[in-house]
Each structure stands twice: as C-alpha cells, then as structure tokens.
Structure 1
Amino acid sequence: MPFTLSEPCEYREEIKKSRFLTLALPLANAAQAQALLERHSDPAATHNCWAWKFASLYRSSDDGEPGGTAGRPILAAIEAQDCDQVLVIVTRWYGGIQLGTGGLARAYGGGAHKCLQAASRIALVERVMLTCACNFAELPLLKLRLVELNGVVEQEAFTANGVELEIALGQADIATLQRQLADLSRGRILLERKGI
C-alpha cells in the first residue's frame, strides 16, 4: 500500500566534511513540486538535488553532481519506502573532500531513505465516489462516521428535505458505513455509487 507524508520531515548528516540536509514534503499535486523546490532550495548551497513522485509521474535532478549520483538514488529511496505524492530535496554544502560517484549515491540515497523512514506517514487509500441523502439532524453523525472510516465529503447540497452528499470512501469500508447509516436512519439512508 503506498504512503504519503502527513507533514514535512528533515534529516541532517555530515559526511567527510560535507553537510547534507534532506527535506521530504508531501505533494498535493504534481504542479506543486516546482513551487516547493523554489521555496526550499538554498541558493548558497553547492547542490540542491531532488526527486518527486506523484502517481505515475516522477522527476529528478542531480543539480551539477555527476549524472545518476543524486536524483536517481533519491527517487529510488522514495520508491523503496513505497511513498507517493512526495518531494525529497537533498541540499549539500561541499566540505572539500571528494566522495566519488559511489559515495555520492550512498549519501544522497541514504539521506533520502533515512528521512522517509523517520517521517510521519499516512496510507493512500483509493476511494470510491458515493452519493447519499440525509435529514439535517443526521448530518453531524453521518460526517462523524465518515471521518472514523477515513472518508471525505466531496460535495454537499442543502435541499428543503435535508442534505444530498457526494462522498469518497475506501472500497473496504463501504459495507461498514452502510450498516452504520442504516442503524442511524432506520434503513432510510442508502449509499449509491456515483454514476451508476
């Protein structure tokens, strides 16, 4: 099951007098990666190497390090940790001692790996779109049950008789929510797949 980060995380390390700062950030969408790179890269550093992954999209950069020694190892760490919707930036301040291509790959990939390992992660659940309707008094309890099952309200429309909702919920939790809503409303609230 893929994971994303619940909050940014950082990891610091010194290797042969070079300082490395690894920053891992959650991504809301692929377009956000460039803005986060500009905000968190340090122009005074020797290198700002990075990689990001969002669903089937991914990018990486060695930022002046020898080809394949920074961006690809960072991306490999993202994939090894089963992360998605994540940007990892590893900033290096050169300390005067050459690390060699193997040393660079270990430093960049290792820093990304350690940072992601320590990060607070949340599972990415593929959600199904559903619709339902309830009366005004049932709405707070419906929302509470939905949050307990890691679901979200995508849209709500108030009508004269109550509220019509579009919700997103993991496939495995649909039967549980349907049972809870049936108990809550004496069988009146029914979940239906959107578009069926």
Structure 2
Amino acid sequence: MEDLYYTIRQPSSEILFKEKKSKFFGYAYPISTEDEIKSLLEKIQKKHPTANHICYAWQLGIEPVSYRAYDDGEPTNTAGMPIYGQIQSFGVTNVLVIVARVFGGTKLGTGGLIAAYRQAAKMSLEGTKIIQKTLKEYIKLSFQYENINIIMRTIKQQKVTIHSQQLDLACELVISVRKNDAAEVRRLFKAIKGVGVFST
C-alpha cells in the first residue's frame, strides 16, 4: 500500500569499520526535514575533529522522494553514493547516514573506498531498528459549536487523531488520517451541513 513506508526508530550507536588502518565511523539518524541535517553533521565534525572526510547520504519522503549523496572530497561517487545505495537496499526513508573517515596512511583505491563506505553504512543501518510507519494527511475542520456531537461521533467512528482543537462558538479542529482513507473522511465531513473541510 502506497501510504506505508519504512524508517528507523532511533539513532544508531556509533560503529567502527577499519580498512588498511583507515577508520570509518558510521551513524544513522531518523530525520523528518532537511533542516535537521546541518546540526547532525556539525555534531559529528565536533566528535571527530581529525576526520579527513565526513561523507553522507540522506533520503526524505515517499512521493516524491528527495535525496542527496555527498563525497566530501573523496573521489566522485566513491562515498556518498555507496552510502545512499545502502539506504535504498534497506528500503528506508526519512533517514541520514554519516560516515566519518580518519585516514590511516594507505590509499584504498576506488574499489576499496566504495566497499568501505558501503560496509560502514550497512553496519550503521543494521545497528538500529527499522519500523513501519503510515503516511498521514492533515485536515482542518471548521464548524459551529452546535455541530460538535456529530463531528466527535464521526471522528470516533473513523478512528482519526485530533492534533489541535479550538472549541468556542466557532470551532476549529486539526485531525490526521491515514492517506489511503483521507478522501473518504473528507467526503463524510463535507456531507455534514455547515462544516468547512480544508487541507493544512
């Protein structure tokens, strides 16, 4: 079903993968917006001030998907894309994977770099719990207080979640509903006389 997706429950513990004296420290984080990424990268930069490269990849969303893969000075597509490939392999979204490399003095070559970053990303994702989530739509309802009983009865029957409410003579509710059920829920509320139904 298109309103189901997989993500990670919590940040992974730090993992360490070693290859020819180079150290690859890997981390996986759940994210919900691109704005969260900068502070997480800064956190890793402070944690590993001697890292020569802090490479990462992230993916957000379902339809459409947005993503980025970043090599941070490593040869093109030897770090960011192997990391992103593991995000795709695990079938997760709303996730950021960072791999910090401390150079050990021996060059790994293109193939060695790709394998090392891929393995560090894989270990990072293996170190956290993957969970299934449901895509939600948010709907705003506006109505007069006299309609409160039928509104609340419909909310209970449809098993939707109330996120905010302003109950006065003129009332406003923000509810969330599973994406696949949104059209039917909208139809039910629109059928109630005097109820305004809006996207948020």
TM-score > 0.5 by shorter chain: yes
State the Cα deviation string for residues 130-159 of structure 1 (Å, max 9, x = none). Answer: 467756xx89xx6xx65xxxx562x21123
Which residue of the partner structure matches residue 11 of structure 2? 8
Which residue of the partner structure matches residue 54 of structure 1? 60
Q: Select the residue among 40, 50, 67 that pairs with 1:44.
A: 50
Structure 1 residue 28: Cα displacement: 2.4
Structure 1 residue 104: Cα displacement: 0.8
Which residue of the partner structure matches residue 21 of structure 1? 25
Identical amino acids, percent of aligned pairs:
32
Distance 1:81 1:8 in 2: 15
Structure 1 residue 3: Cα displacement: 1.8
Q: What secondary structure sits across from 2:134 in the alignment?
A: coil
Q: Select the residue among 158, 165, 175 that pairs with 1:167.
A: 175
Distance 1:76 1:2 in 2: 17
Structure 1 unaligned regions, length at least 5: 178-191
Distance 1:134 1:9 in 2: 45
State the Cα deviation string for residues 60-112 of structure 1 (Å, max 9, x = none). Answer: 21112111110111111111211211111101111222222111111101211
Distance 1:6 1:152 in 2: 23
Which residue of the partner structure matches residue 157 of structure 1? 166
Structure 2 unaligned regions, length at least 5: 142-146, 186-195
Residues 164/118 of structure 1: CA separation in 2 closer, same or farther (3 Å cut): same
Residues 63/171 of structure 1: CA separation in 2 closer, same or farther (3 Å cut): closer
Structure 1 residue 160: Cα displacement: 5.9
Distance 1:49 1:131 in 2: 41
Could you tell me the TM-score, scaled by structure 2's length? Answer: 0.70
Structure 1 residue 50: Cα displacement: 0.8
Conservation of the 8 A alpha-carbon contact between 2:26 and 2:120: yes
Aligned residues: 173
Q: What secondary structure sits across from 1:14 in the alignment?
A: strand
Could you tell me the TM-score, scaled by structure 1's length? Answer: 0.71
In angstroms, what is the RMSD of aligned CA positions? 3.3
